[in-house]
Structure 1
Amino acid sequence: MSKRFPGRRLSPVRLTVLVAIVGTLVASTVVGWNRLEDVRAAANGGSWFAGYVDATATPFYPFEQPASEQGKSVVLSFIVADPAEDCRPSWGAAYSLDEAQSELDLDRRIARLIQDGGEVAVSFGGLINNELARTCTDVRQLTSAYRAVVERYNLTTIDLDIEGEDLADSEAAARRAEAVAALQEERRADGKPLNVWLTLPVAPSGLTLQGTDAVTTMLEGGVDLAGVNIMTMDYGGSREPGVSQLDASVAAARATHAQLGILYDRAGTSLGPQTLWKKIGLTPMIGQNDVPAEVFDLEAAAAFNAFALETGVGRMSMWSLNRDATCSDNYGNAKIVSDSCSGIEQDGTLFADVLGAGFEGRAATLNSAPTTDEPTPELVVDDPETSPYPIWSEEATYVLDDRVVWRGKVYSAKYWTSGDLPDNPVLQAAETPWTLIGPVLPGEKPVPVVTAPAGTYPGWDAEKTYEKGDRILFDGHVFEAKWWNRSDSPEAALQTSDASPWRKFSNDEVQDVLEELEP
């Protein structure tokens, strides 16, 4: 015989209340789980700092010799379309990739920074000149142009700085998204993922309509965006009177955070608030901005850094490392923006140190710090067949700008020197006559010597007396007399002896001579 539980039946009202309570508990559990997943996802992305470097601005900024630890990660700017060839990448429309190596030593300087534990990303676009997608209308050629830069510098992170007329060009935006998505897919298949950041102008109210369209085009085009980096600078009329540069920048960041959530939702990807902060980068213009009334000082930098760390933004940058110094006394008007100083008194403090404090991740490895367990380096034996410059000799004499190779690295003489080891450890740079340029690059060969044909100048005559400034030809090389001499063979000058009365012309000088003699 069975026994029934003597409880009461639930009334319809009580049943409705119970269902509501259970529903609330389930919803709370789901929300809690989603928040946990959001926190986990955000934790997988590192927060990193890298200052922009204008690679072609003069005087050239020595990014390979960072002023502090925070300067060891850089975003080199800007790769744009070559004015003479629509689909060929160039540095600032001034140097081809090969010219940047030969004239700026760019490849070697990049290699040196990376060898020393630094990291390099490259930015395409900028306000001046045309981003490649603007002029290169063939998507396959555009993909090849991006690929050429990524492969040449072995990049893991690129930055697409889209502003001005480039931002208004919707057709270029579609080409850009298609090409970058294709390149990302290639790299992913080869086990070399490519992080892509989209850098955009911003107002205190957030991204402009063109800016949100740019994000949408990238997402719809299949680009896996590492994040959107906003230029918190040059607000002009969008910054209301009485609102500080700092407050405008914080407002811009918060507004962009809300906008990105909507844009990702529309693209079919819902991201939690913390994950969204990891997809935001902040780039203030340090010191004096292009707008005279806008100044971003060190106090604002400290507060902006605190805001970024508190919210957990994925990236902090600044424009630019070139400008991270107090202007000299002879700089006339600090309100006029300089390429090489901030326009404000910094009292020895670097903006990079202030803005970068607490950002310990890396763009490439996303929160993976570099290992400290480094193998003992092997002794490098220099090979004349692969060394681009003569191998240093203890017996030779070197003068200003002479280049040598020693233990796998290229050095340049700062002044007359003989017998001084290029890699001799010193406490201060002033103690050595050598400047380290960077490593010998894979595949390098000796730099060809430019010679002059017979008849360019008279051949050397041991019986003739020469005056200062006289020029001769010896074994295809051009020499100029440094002082009165007779019977002194130029052979000693070929061995870089400073005691020789003859100075051997450099490759560039011989080339200039040959060009002058052309009909």
Structure 2
Amino acid sequence: MRLTATRASARRLTGKTRLTITALATTAAAAGFVVIGGASGAQAATPVPAHVFAPYFEAWTGDDPATLSSQSGAKYLTMAFLQTASAGSCTVDWNGSTSMSVSSSTFGSSISTIQANGGNVIPSFGGYTADTTNTEIADSCTNVSSIAAAYESLVTTYNVTRIDLDTEANSLTNSAGIDRRNKAIAQVESWAASTGRTVQFSYTLPTTTSGLDSSGLAVLQNAVSNNARVDVVNIMTFDYYDGATHEMATDTENAANGLYNQLSSLYPSKTSAQKWAMIGVTEMPGIDDYGAAETFTTADAPTVYNWAVSKGINELSFWALQRDNGNCPGTGGQDNCSGISQSQWYFSHTFEPFSGGTTNPGNDFSLSLSPSSASVNPGSSTTAQVSTAVTSGSAQSVSLSASGAPSGVTVSFNPASVTAGGSSTVTFATSSSAAPGTYAITVKGTAASGSHTATYSLTVNGSGTGGGGSLTNGGFESGSLSPWTGQSGDAVVSSPVHSGSHAAVIAPTASQTGELDQTVTLKANTSYTLTGWVQGNYAFIGVSGGASASTWTSSSSWTKLTVSFTTGSSGTVTVFVHGWYSQGNVYADDFSVS
């Protein structure tokens, strides 16, 4: 699953596809106690719960696993990857780097910290890079006992109770390697039984939306023939590369249902509950390697969580912990960010309660503003988007409100309530009398689970643009035309509007253009830009008096017009908007001079 400089041309997969078919013990002993021998005496390892959240940790990044475990709340990590430094070798290192040997000096202290905090790690062998370079140990090494010894070394060095085997790409078609790998699993399980240890194995395999393909199924069939116990099959529910548009939570359920049916054929003596307890799923939060058509959203996470609880599956995971942030919106296939808008550790926080229990997380949501600040002239308005997302449990109704707005500023929402996951437009409208200053306005979302807030910084511009006056009531949000002056028929309307709650209608007749004027005194001999939004036939905006400039358009939808001008010695100009004789009404909104 690791992102590397080279990728397979047939299937643009990063290391992420190396997820898991997790071989977990099915007996009570498989709760995970491992007795470590040697001079230090026996020590009980932290058990892996029967239901565990264990996201992948990218071991090549230089990040500290104990730090990220603490920050994210994920007590259990699947650490990727272990592979040989070169094809033909029987010695594994972290990331295939001889400077990162399997020893207490490499990750030992961090793993001990995680264990002391009640968790553990699951070392993962293979991954896409190893599986395409013949450095996955069972592909590289032809001695089954040496492969088994490498697995056992992880158990005794780090006091772990589960090993993950991420098998994909070329490793799915290397029949000799498949057979050696499963024979080594059987040897390790025999060794564990004879020494009083419990070792769980997990297989990570790619999947289709209807279950394993024939190559993945062949891995399990070979395990059965070699009497190798596979405790959990953890399927990678992403990177389908089938050209379809996916609803990823639904496809996870469909893929797992297909796997359940395949396990029924492989293990006919197992009960329904035992077969579900053999299943794990690994997601790729956000946009996967294929692209936007395969996006696992923040709304998908609680859906998958609740489904996993209801079925009693063994493992929830995702690729990878370092992706659990929203630092690269719109970018797919990254190993350090999800490509979607999300809060830090959103997916970890949603899945983490799965470890050790089956209690659904309580309903909760998040709230954000975009943009979170703006400056307006008195009499104008501005808008922002209020976005909500489900952070745990199910979507609920969220009522929106605001506080902290000063006199002369009104805040309105459209709509005033949303279902978590939805958005609303908030309008900040100022009257001509609004006092200049910067104000922190609190936008609040309230639901049955509680409330969340976000702060909006609104600056009401002061008198003068470089020393002069300014246009007021440019958005007509005061509800009247003043200080604009107009002709018969000109008025303030509530529809259509460009933003806020009001706009102006200019009513030309056979004998008038319906001109609406406002005189302002700006700084003398200074360049300015007039902007305004208009709708209608032959809509003109401009300035006259101390400067002369105008432009026009004919449009049935809102159109922004811009006029540049330079004031004269007095700095006074008249801003105008008008239509044309007998050509129909013109609508105007959101005028400003800057």
TM-score, normalized by length of structure 2? 0.49
**Residue 247 (structure 2) aligned to one of 225, 244, 247:** 244
In 2, the alpha carbon distance for the partners of 1:63 and 1:95 equals: 22
CA contact (8 A) 1:49 1:70 kept: no
Residues 388-407 of structure 1: matches in 2 within 5 Å?
none
In structure 1, the partner of 2:306 is 306
Residues 415-430 of structure 1: matches in 2 within 5 Å?
none
CA contact (8 A) 1:161 1:199 kept: yes
**Residue 335 (structure 1) aligned to one of 302, 311, 331:** 331
Structure with the higher strand share, 1 or 2: 2
**Residue 141 (structure 2) aligned to one of 132, 136, 145:** 136
Deviation of 1:93 (Å) = 1.5
CA contact (8 A) 2:56 2:318 kept: yes
**Cα deviation digits, residues 447-474 of structure 1 (max 9, x gap):** xxxxxxxxxxxxxxxxxxxxxxxxxxxx
Deviation of 1:349 (Å) = 5.0
- Where does the alignment leave 5 or more consecutive residues of structure 2 unmatched? 1-25, 32-48, 359-594
In 2, the alpha carbon distance for the partners of 1:99 and 1:175 equals: 21
**Cα deviation digits, residues 263-289 of structure 1 (max 9, x gap):** 113xxxx11111100000010111121
The structure-2 alpha-carbon separation of the partners of 1:185 and 1:97, relative to structure 1 and needing over 3 Å to count, comes to farther
The structure-2 alpha-carbon separation of the partners of 1:67 and 1:152, relative to structure 1 and needing over 3 Å to count, comes to closer
**Cα deviation digits, residues 385-443 of structure 1 (max 9, x gap):** xxxxxxxxxxxxxxxxxxxxxxxxxxxxxxxxxxxxxxxxxxxxxxxxxxxxxxxxxxx
Deviation of 1:358 (Å) = 3.6
CA contact (8 A) 1:61 1:322 kept: no
CA contact (8 A) 1:89 1:149 kept: no
Q: Matched residue pairs, number?
A: 310
In 1, the alpha carbon distance for the partners of 2:66 and 2:127 equals: 19
In structure 1, the partner of 2:286 is 287
In 1, the alpha carbon distance for the partners of 2:121 and 2:62 equals: 20
Residues 311-460 of structure 1: matches in 2 within 5 Å?
311-327=311-327, 334-348=330-344, 350-360=346-356
Greater Rg over alpha carbons, structure: 2
Query: Once structures 1 and 2 are overlaid, which stretch shifts more, 84-93 or 46-55?
Result: 84-93
In structure 2, the partner of 1:212 is 217
The structure-2 alpha-carbon separation of the partners of 1:84 and 1:260, relative to structure 1 and needing over 3 Å to count, comes to closer
In structure 1, the partner of 2:125 is 124
CA contact (8 A) 2:163 2:202 kept: yes
In structure 2, the partner of 1:178 is 183
The structure-2 alpha-carbon separation of the partners of 1:85 and 1:135, relative to structure 1 and needing over 3 Å to count, comes to closer
Deviation of 1:99 (Å) = 7.8
**Cα deviation digits, residues 27-84 of structure 1 (max 9, x gap):** xxxxxxxxxxxx999x99821111110111x252544452457411111111112217
CA contact (8 A) 2:138 2:181 kept: yes
Is 1:256 matched with 2:268? Answer: no
In 2, the alpha carbon distance for the partners of 1:110 and 1:277 equals: 29
CA contact (8 A) 1:50 1:74 kept: yes
Find the residue that maps to 1:124 and give its secondary structure.
strand
Deviation of 1:357 (Å) = 2.9
Query: Once structures 1 and 2 are overlaid, which stretch shifts more, 244-253 or 163-172?
Result: 244-253
CA contact (8 A) 1:231 1:282 kept: yes
CA contact (8 A) 1:51 1:71 kept: yes
Find the residue that maps to 2:227 and give its secondary structure.
coil
Q: What amino acid is the match of 1:52?
A: Y
**Cα deviation digits, residues 109-132 of structure 1 (max 9, x gap):** 111111222211111111112310
The structure-2 alpha-carbon separation of the partners of 1:291 and 1:61, relative to structure 1 and needing over 3 Å to count, comes to farther
**Residue 189 (structure 1) aligned to one of 187, 194, 200:** 194
The structure-2 alpha-carbon separation of the partners of 1:155 and 1:352, relative to structure 1 and needing over 3 Å to count, comes to same
In structure 1, the partner of 2:206 is 201
Is 1:48 matched with 2:49? Answer: no
The structure-2 alpha-carbon separation of the partners of 1:360 and 1:236, relative to structure 1 and needing over 3 Å to count, comes to same
In 1, the alpha carbon distance for the partners of 2:187 and 2:27 equals: 29
Deviation of 1:217 (Å) = 0.9
The structure-2 alpha-carbon separation of the partners of 1:113 and 1:40, relative to structure 1 and needing over 3 Å to count, comes to closer
In structure 2, the partner of 1:161 is 166
Q: What amino acid is the match of 1:260?
A: L
CA contact (8 A) 2:78 2:124 kept: yes
The answer to which structure, 1 or 2, has the higher relative contact order (CA under 8 A, 6+ apart) is 1
Q: What amino acid is the match of 2:75?
A: K
CA contact (8 A) 1:68 1:353 kept: no
**Cα deviation digits, residues 198-250 of structure 1 (max 9, x gap):** 1110000110100110011112111122111111111111x644x41222111
Residues 63-102 of structure 1: matches in 2 within 5 Å?
63-67=66-70, 70-83=73-86, 86-98=89-101, 102=105
In 2, the alpha carbon distance for the partners of 1:200 and 1:52 equals: 14
In structure 2, the partner of 1:504 is none
Q: What amino acid is the match of 1:125?
A: G
In 2, the alpha carbon distance for the partners of 1:222 and 1:40 equals: 16
Find the residue that maps to 1:283 and give its secondary structure.
strand
In 2, the alpha carbon distance for the partners of 1:84 and 1:69 equals: 36
The structure-2 alpha-carbon separation of the partners of 1:361 and 1:151, relative to structure 1 and needing over 3 Å to count, comes to farther
Identity %: 30
In 1, the alpha carbon distance for the partners of 2:353 and 2:108 equals: 28
CA contact (8 A) 1:305 1:356 kept: no
**Cα deviation digits, residues 347-406 of structure 1 (max 9, x gap):** 3452011123343259xxxxxxxxxxxxxxxxxxxxxxxxxxxxxxxxxxxxxxxxxxxx
CA contact (8 A) 1:91 1:97 kept: yes
TM-score, normalized by length of structure 1? 0.56
Find the residue that maps to 1:317 and give its secondary structure.
strand
Query: Once structures 1 and 2 are overlaid, which stretch shifts more, 66-75 or 125-134?
Result: 66-75
CA contact (8 A) 1:59 1:340 kept: no
- Where does the alignment leave 5 or more consecutive residues of structure 1 unmatched? 1-38, 363-519
Find the residue that maps to 1:276 and give its secondary structure.
helix
In 1, the alpha carbon distance for the partners of 2:68 and 2:233 equals: 29
The structure-2 alpha-carbon separation of the partners of 1:316 and 1:336, relative to structure 1 and needing over 3 Å to count, comes to closer
